[in-house]
Amino acid sequence: MRKLTVYTLDQIDHLVQPAEFQDATLTSPALSIFTDFRTSNPMLLDADTKAVEAEEMMRQEHSWLKLVVDRQQEMVGILSSDHFTSQYLMQHVSKAVKAKDLTVADLMRPRDAVMALSYQQIQHCTIGDVLHTLQQKGEAYCVVIDRDSHQIRGIISAREISNRLHIKPLKIEKTPALLNMFDRMYA
């Protein structure tokens, strides 16, 4: 067995994050911007967590996107910081449900409304291909599924791509539902 040298941290040693590096371009492999749950734990929230608690947690953790899980730890949806805007919250508040009583499950995007790309597909495409697909579909993020093993393998977000490529945040607008229906009919 090899003996390793142990060091102490110097004052000039700083914490790095992926956005600090200039190693990704639109022609880089899509796998380079994919958060792989085989090597990184997904950021999770329980579905029954109070929305006000979730918002505070996400703010403190500097996260803008979390997978929502049920008691069996299966993904039931995704919650983004965009779900905490006053306009979005007002859509979910009623005389019967007060804002303080909303849960993550009330605000999340349900699993069946989350777009997915296959792991097998992104192995052979570029960051530009993924970004184009997200923009075309009007989605700020998507999960990555392994269709062979039926696993939710990871997540890709346009925000993370923008950070890694050092470009201004992309404005992704949701395609109106009627246009989506026509796309499916004539695809």
pLDDT tens digits, one per residue of 127-156: 999 999 999 999 999 999 999 999 999 999
Superfamily, domain 24-180: CBS-domain (3.10.580.10)
Q: How much is the pLDDT for 89?
A: 74
- Average pLDDT over every residue of 11-27: 85
Whole-number CA gyration radius for the chain: 19
Q: In what side-by-side order are the strands of the sheet with 65-69?
A: 44-46, 65-69, 75-80, 109-110
Q: How much is the pLDDT for 27?
A: 95
- Average pLDDT over every residue of 29-51: 94
Length of the chain: 187
- Cα 111–chain centre separation: 13
- Lowest mean pLDDT across 61-75, 84-98, 139-153, 170-184: 170-184
Confidence of residue 14 (pLDDT cuts 50, 70, 90): confident
The DSSP secondary-structure symbol of 144 reads E
Domain ranges of the chain: 24-180
CA distance 131 to 159: 10
Looking at per-residue confidence, does 171 or 114 come out higher? 114
Cross-strand pairs, 43: none
CA distance 58 to 36: 20
- Global pTM? 0.81
